[in-house]
Amino acid sequence: MLGTRTFLKLETCSPVGSFKTRGAFVAISEWLKSAGGETRSPRRRPRIVTASSGNHGMAVAYAARILSADATVYISEHASPTKIEAIRGQGAAIVRTGRDFDEAKEAGKAYATEGGGWWLEDGKNPDVAVGTGTIGLEIVEDLPEVDEILVPVGSGALIGGIGSAVRSSDADTEITGVQPESAPAMVRSFAAGKPVPTDSCETIADGLASRVPVPEALELMREVTNRMVEVSEEAITFSVRALVEWAHLLAEPASAAALAGALERREELVGKNVVLVITGANIDRAVLLHCLGATSNV
């Protein structure tokens, strides 16, 4: 279909079904070490506060539970029901507020600032990028001949981490970011060289739905990324179905964006060794059925 040797980097088999576990474990572990005895009071467990569209919240809840901490996750009123239940199943407290992820994030940050716990922001905390960087290290270790890696972009922490790790060992590999046309904040920010918020971010790829770029994530992303590609909702929907039918792989829309980006760039990819980062498998049943039943001209 692409005219390439295409490899899939599967982050779908982690304990929470997405790559987010990597960054959450590193960030929380480092914070617990630096906080020392303060967080080990026998009367009060340390608490992590974060905001998420779903997968990051699951990862923080899981990592906190394993590392003997508590977690509070702020999530929007319109977040995926499947992901909400998964976060709750990991033992985290959930606060539903705001019309989208960015409004939920502002509420969570305010709560943490008022003493609710340690604020962990995906994209801003450098240890999250260190965790995601292990994906890049594994790619170049397993496939030294890789020519291009396509990475779905939400906050930018994933592509920043992967790109930094790859650049440290192979400066020639190209890094391409992929974002939905209907949630293009990081595409526009990448082009402008500064954060460019958008008014809305309505996309089937809820894991990539962010209106307000994080400056730290943008700065790192621009250092290591060759280009950004926008893809349509139709292309993402088609790619979910294509991964099920041709790779026998369940991938949520945010993950399938990597394949959608490769389809957008197929002429430039002919003959290359290409890696698509499949970031997670947490898809609502209704969304999956929609994708499987949709027709497409992609």
Note the pLDDT of residue 28.
Answer: 97
pLDDT tens string 72-110: 999 999 888 888 999 999 999 999 999 999 999 999 999
Q: Residue 145: give the domain boundaries.
A: 5-17+126-293
pLDDT tens string 7-58: 999 999 999 999 999 999 999 999 999 886 454 555 578 999 999 988 999 9
Residue 192 lies in a domain: yes
Phi, psi of 33 (to 5 degrees): -65, -45
> Do 109 and 232 belong together in one domain?
no
Instruction: Tell whether the torsion through CA atoms of 155, 101, 279 and 29 is positive or negative.
Output: positive
For helices 233-247 and 253-264, give the axis angle rounded to 10 degrees: 100
Note the pLDDT of residue 43.
Answer: 54
Note the pLDDT of residue 171.
Answer: 80
> Do 153 and 214 belong together in one domain?
yes
Cα–Cα distances (Å) from 90 to 21, 42, 258, in that order, read 13, 22, 28
> Do 222 and 253 belong together in one domain?
yes
The model carries a pTM of: 0.91
In single-letter form, the type of residue at position 122 comes to D
H helices present in 72-208, as ranges: 81-89, 101-111, 126-142, 157-169, 185-192
* pLDDT at 133 exceeding the cut of 70: yes
Torsion from C-alpha of 112, 117, 121, 126, nearest 10 degrees: 130
Residue 40 lies in a domain: yes
> Do 157 and 278 belong together in one domain?
yes
Note the pLDDT of residue 41.
Answer: 54
Residue 298 lies in a domain: no
Domain total for the chain?
2
Interval 113-127 mean pLDDT = 93
CATH of the domain at 170: 3.40.50.1100
